[in-house]
Amino acid sequence: MDLKEQIAHLRDELNKSINEEQNYEIIYELSVELDKLITLFYLDKENRLKDN
């Protein structure tokens, strides 16, 4: 699973958790993990632009 797919999967999982009104800690952890993946995505994108 590539980074974009991981982001989409985790985003869906986060949205489901919010819709199901799951425990705040679970929602928070999913949100933090999603933020980390998005950061990695943009860092990777930035590095690829520098290499070209």
From first to last of its 52 residues, the chain has per-residue pLDDT tens of 899 999 999 999 999 999 999 999 999 999 999 999 999 999 988 778 787 6
> What pLDDT, on the 0 to 100 scale, is given for residue 1?
85
> What pLDDT, on the 0 to 100 scale, is given for residue 18?
98
Count of structural domains within the chain: 1
- 3-class state of residue 2 by DSSP: coil
DSSP readout, 7-45? Answer: HHHHHHHHHHHHHTT--HHHHHHHHHHHHHHHHHHHHHH
Model pTM score: 0.83
The token duo for 3 is: 């980074």
| CA distance linking residue 14 with residue 9, whole number of Å | 9
Structural domain span for residue 20: 3-51
> What pLDDT, on the 0 to 100 scale, is given for residue 39?
96
| CA distance linking residue 3 with residue 18, whole number of Å | 22
